[in-house]
Amino acid sequence: MTSDAPAGFATRCIHAGQRADPSTGAIITPIFQTSTYVQDALGQHKGYEYARTQNPTREALEANVASLESGREGFAFASGMAAIGAVASMLEAGDHVVVTDNIYGGTYRLFERVLSRYGLRFTYVDTSRLDLLAAALAEPTRMLFLETPTNPVMGLTDLAEASALAHRHGASVVVDNTFASPALQRPLELDADLVLHSTTKYLNGHSDSVGGIVVARHDTDIEWLRFYQNAAGAILSPFDSWLVLRGTKTLALRMAQHNVNGLAVAEYLAGHPKVARVFYPGLPSHPQHELARRQMQGFGGMLAFELGSLEHARRFLNRVGLMALAESLGGVESLISHPATMTHASVPADRRAALGITDGLVRISVGIEDIDDLTADLAQALDAV
Ligand SMILES: Cc1ncc(COP(=O)(O)O)c(C=O)c1O
């Protein structure tokens, strides 16, 4: 569905893509849990024929997120990986793709273990370095696939500069905006061509749904994604669509608190004698702090910090109480993880080392609990180190 209303961001979180249900007046878009739709007569229907192709709950979510990302249309998929697969379906055998080197491990696995079998070629580069990006783009390139901030060391790519560079080389620009959410960063406004999310994370925000979405702004991309979504069929279910739609209503509010708590936890850790280094774009010590201030409207709830060794990380992680030891991120509750053995275990050790993912590195998805409770939990766990 087409995005609507040039209202403010928080207003669009709550209203974009939605209207009271015409049959009952229900203020909340119903869960249209149906596989098919009765047609009035042969060749006459209400725009809905079969639920893989069209579903009103999914369409409401797609229009909502398209509006939040300042795009034209959204396409919701069964997971973030399915959304990335949809974007990759725009490529053809022989195409070259330049990718942020510190990309999500699952994206790397899809590119290297699946898509490379179909004749696609991927070059991984530190896209925070425009000189390295320019060098990689010297080879004819169909797509630039960016993630910023990256997981877990929070490296940033200058989206406006990288998009301009890619466009000069004839490549389209895709941004995985999962870590920031459109509340903090809107790549399409910085001239990216496509933006995608694992809705599993901040968009849903409540750790109770797995999903993905792609937002497009060009006619050809929109046409292809609509065709592909129906042709490949990895759609988001009506119930999951409803959950994410419920989640985005509070996105502005949640992200504001993630920003506050993220900065407070980062500052607490930075001042702790047992913490060697903190990776958070909101700290002046972050090498790209100025870019973060320019490109993002808040620094979010993701950070990582260095405890020096696997043994220190183990002692710390076995002691946390309020913070749950778990993969994933972006929920209202704080989650803590050990990238080297959890989220990035599938990344080869030498590659992990090159990306700065040491055995002593710990990642936190800072939730929106009371900050004093979070720092108290960190304090008692750091006592064990
Ligand atoms: C940045 C990023 N992109 C994509 C994905 C994949 O999303 P999903 O787990 O919903 O398939 C993840 C999952 O952690 C992620 O962190």
Tens-digit pLDDT profile for residues 257-277: 999 999 999 999 999 999 999
Query: What's the pLDDT tens digit per position in 189-225?
Result: 999 999 999 999 999 999 999 999 999 999 999 999 9
What SS3 class is residue 12? helix
Section 145-149 average pLDDT: 98
Report the separation in Å between the CA atom of 176 and the middle of ligand 1, taken as the mean of its atom positions.
9
SS3 content of the chain, % helix, strand, coil (to 5): 35, 15, 50
* Choice among 126, 176, 193, 221 that is catalytic: 176
Distance CA 258, CA 269 (A): 16
Phi and psi based region of residue 21 (left: phi greater than 0; alpha: psi -120 to 50; beta: remaining): beta
Report the separation in Å between the CA atom of 147 and the middle of ligand 1, taken as the mean of its atom positions.
11
pLDDT at 3 over 70: no
pLDDT at 163 over 50: yes
Report the separation in Å between the CA atom of 245 and the middle of ligand 1, taken as the mean of its atom positions.
18
Report the separation in Å between the CA atom of 85 and the middle of ligand 1, taken as the mean of its atom positions.
12
Whether residue 52 lies in the annotated active site: yes
Whether residue 176 lies in the annotated active site: yes
Q: How confident is the model at residue 238 (pLDDT cuts 50, 70, 90)?
A: very high
Q: In this structure, which residue's CA is closest to atom 10 in ligand 1?
A: 80
CA atoms within 13 A on the CB side of 258: 34
Whether residue 249 lies in the annotated active site: no
Beta bridge partners of 321: none
pLDDT at 346 over 90: no
Atom of ligand 1 nearest to the CA of 327: 14
Percent of the chain topping pLDDT 70: 99
Q: In this structure, which residue's CA is closest to atom 15 in ligand 1?
A: 104
Atom of ligand 1 nearest to the CA of 103: 1
Ligand 1 pocket residue status of 176, Cβ below 6 Å: yes
pLDDT at position 379: 98
Ligand 1 pocket residue status of 200, Cβ below 6 Å: yes
Ligand 1 pocket residue status of 177, Cβ below 6 Å: no
Q: Which of 288, 335, 318, 324 is nearest to 153 (CA)?
A: 288
Q: What is the pTM of this model?
A: 0.96
pLDDT at position 1: 43
